Amino acid sequence: MRPYGMDMRRIDLRTLGVMLIALAVGLAWAAYNLTQAGLVRDESTVRPLVWAVFAAPAALFVGWLIARRREMGMAAACCFCLYFFSFFVAQRIESLAVSPEQVATYVHSFYFWTVLVLHAIVGVGMAIWRAQSLDVPGRA
């Protein structure tokens, strides 16, 4: 017997799996592009660096749409916020953790890898959040 008002939640494994696989593909593509750029920062590395920060949120959005097509608006808003705000959070972490000399030497390498870590952590959190569903008696 459950207490009054307590939600019984269950995990939708299909939603969780689709979103995590999509996120993993996006993170792999982002990491590949970031390693291709290396420590070079010129016009030849613009495209790989853009993919490094864009791939994971975009892939998560696609996975979210595959898993729950009805939530397109929420998926777009959440994935855009993940993409947009990760720039600021990663920059702040870099400014606190890395000296300006190291930033100049390693041309913001720490920043880009921090973006990928943030995308991974927040993306897994969003996948778990969307995979939870209320277990309401009498409803499918």
pLDDT in tens, 46-88: 999 999 999 999 999 999 999 999 999 999 999 999 999 999 9
**Residue pair 47/16 in contact by the 8 Å Cβ criterion:** no
pLDDT above 80 (res 103): yes
**Residue pair 135/9 in contact by the 8 Å Cβ criterion:** yes
User: Taking the model in full, what pTM does it have?
Assistant: 0.86
d(CA 16, CA 68): 11
**Residue pair 86/30 in contact by the 8 Å Cβ criterion:** no
d(CA 124, CA 116): 12
* Mean model confidence pLDDT for the chain: 90
Q: Report the amino acid identity of residue 114.
A: T
- Confidence at residue 104, expressed as pLDDT on a 0 to 100 scale: 87
Q: Dihedral (C-alpha) 101, 106, 108, 111: value to the nearest 10 degrees? A: -100
